[in-house]
Amino acid sequence: MNILISPNAFKGTMSATEAGRIIQEFVYNKFPQINTELLPIADGGDGTCELLTKLLGLEKKWIWSLDPYGRSTLCSYGWNEKANKAYIDVSAASGIAQLGNEAKEPYVASSFGTGLLIRNAISLGAEEIVLGLGGSATVDLGIGILAALGIDFLDERGKKLTQFIPGYLSKIRHIQQSPRIPKVRFSYLCDVKNTFFGKNGAIPVFGPQKGILPGQFGFYESECHRLVDLLFRKKKKDFVDESGFGAAGGIALGLSVFFEGEIKFGASYFFKEVNLKAKVKWADLIITGEGRYDSQSSEGKACFEILQLAHSQAKKVALITSGHEDGAEQFDQVLTLPDLDFSNPHYKSRAKQNLQALLAKEIPPLALSMNHPLG
C-alpha cells in the first residue's frame, strides 16, 4: 500500500512539513510495511514560497529587512540562479505573524520590508519575482513595495514621505517615478479570489484581522479609492478590479500599475512546480489536512485542489481538520481534531499531541475501510 502524505499548513499551530512528519512517523512506526511519501502542499498562503524553496532545492538567501512596523528582522527567500527567478513570501518581512499578540496598527503597517527583499533579488539579476501573497499584515496597496523600488510618494507640499509614519497613506498627494525603476515581472500566488473593493473585498473581509475596525471601513476604502485613482492616472491606465487583487491588502493591484505581472492561483501553480500529479498517481491513499476546512476552502485552497486531483484519478482522500464545516463531506474520510484553546500558552504543543492522538485512533480503521488491510 502506498500513502501520499500531503497536508497544508495548520495555520497558527503547525507548518505543512511539521504536520506531515508527525503523520509519516506514526504510519512508519505502526505499519512499517506501508510505503509512504511526504510532500507538503501550499496554495499561496503564508510560507508558500518558503516551502517551494525547500522542495525545489533552491538556494536560500538571508538578508536583514524591516517588519510591518519598520523594525529590523532577518528574512530569507529562494533563489533560482539559472532562471533568474526569486521566490519571496510577503509574510517573510511583512507578515502578520511577525506581530504576535501586539495591537495591530493598520495606519502604520507597510509592505516596504517586502520591497527590500525584492530589491535585493533584483540586485542579483532577478527577472521574475514569484510573490506569495498569504499572511500579510498590511492593507497598503503595495505602496510600501513600490517605495522600495523607486516610486516616491509625496505630501501636499511635494515633500517625500517617510515610511512607517502614522497615517502614511492618507498623506500621499503626489507620485514621482524614478527613471531607474527596475525591469522585472511578477507572478502573484493567491489563495483567495477576492477583488480589492466591494462587500467581499480586502477591507471588510481581511481588514479586521489586520486591525481595521468595522467603523473605519468606509474611511479606509475611500482613501484607497483615492490612491488607486492617483496611481492609475500617473500611468494613464484604466483601473479594472481583478479577482485576486484583494489578497495581501492589494499588493498585486498596486504593483500592476508599474510592473508586468500575472495573478496565479497558488495551489495549481504549486502542484505543477512539485509534480504532485505524478505522486497522486503512485498513491493508493492520500492524507491531507489543514487547521479548519471551511466554505472558503473550495475557492482554490490546497486541500480542495488535491481532492479534485485525486478524484480525477479515482484515488481516495482522507482529510484531517477541526470543526464540522460544509464541504468536508466531499472527502472519502474526515478525521476531526478537537478545537484548541488558543489562550493556553502551550496551544502549539497541544495541537501536535491532538494530531498524534487522532492518528492512533483513526488511521487503522481508515485503511481497513478502504480495503487495504494493514496486518
What are the tens digits of pLDDT across the range 181-196? 999 999 999 989 999 9
pLDDT at residue 77 greater than cutoff 70: yes
Cell numbers at 135, concatenated: 499572511
pLDDT at residue 257 greater than cutoff 50: yes
pLDDT of residue 373: 42
Distance CA 242, CA 240 (A): 6
CATH 3.90.1150.10 fits 48-266, yes or no: no
pLDDT at residue 370 greater than cutoff 70: no
Please check whether residue 113 is in contact with residue 73, taking contact to mean a CB–CB distance below 8 angstroms. yes
* Tens of pLDDT, residues 235-251: 999 999 999 999 999 99
Distance CA 107, CA 239 (A): 24
pLDDT at residue 299 greater than cutoff 80: no
Distance CA 226, CA 204 (A): 18
Question: Considering only CA atoms, which of 245, 242, 249 is closest in space to residue 206?
Answer: 249
Tell how far CA 38 is from the center of its chain: 20
Please check whether residue 154 is in contact with residue 97, taking contact to mean a CB–CB distance below 8 angstroms. no
CA atoms within a 13 Å half-sphere pointing along the CA-CB vector of 74? 3
pLDDT of residue 324: 75
CATH topology of domain 2-39+299-369: Rossmann fold (3.40.50)
Mean pLDDT to the nearest integer, 306-328: 90
Angle formed by the axes of helices 48-55 and 266-274, to 10°? 10
Please check whether residue 321 is in contact with residue 289, taking contact to mean a CB–CB distance below 8 angstroms. yes
The pLDDT confidence band at residue 326, using thresholds 50, 70 and 90, is confident
The pLDDT confidence band at residue 13, using thresholds 50, 70 and 90, is confident
pLDDT of residue 297: 72
Instruction: Let me know if 302 is exposed, middle or buried by CB neighbors in 10 A (0-12, 13-18, 19+).
Output: buried
pLDDT at residue 369 greater than cutoff 80: no
Mean pLDDT to the nearest integer, 25-40: 93
pLDDT of residue 345: 82
Task: Give the pairing type, strands 174-177 and 151-154.
Answer: antiparallel
Cell numbers at 43, concatenated: 496554495
* Tens of pLDDT, residues 132-145: 999 999 999 999 99
Domain boundaries, the chain: 2-39+299-369, 48-266
pLDDT at residue 372 greater than cutoff 60: no
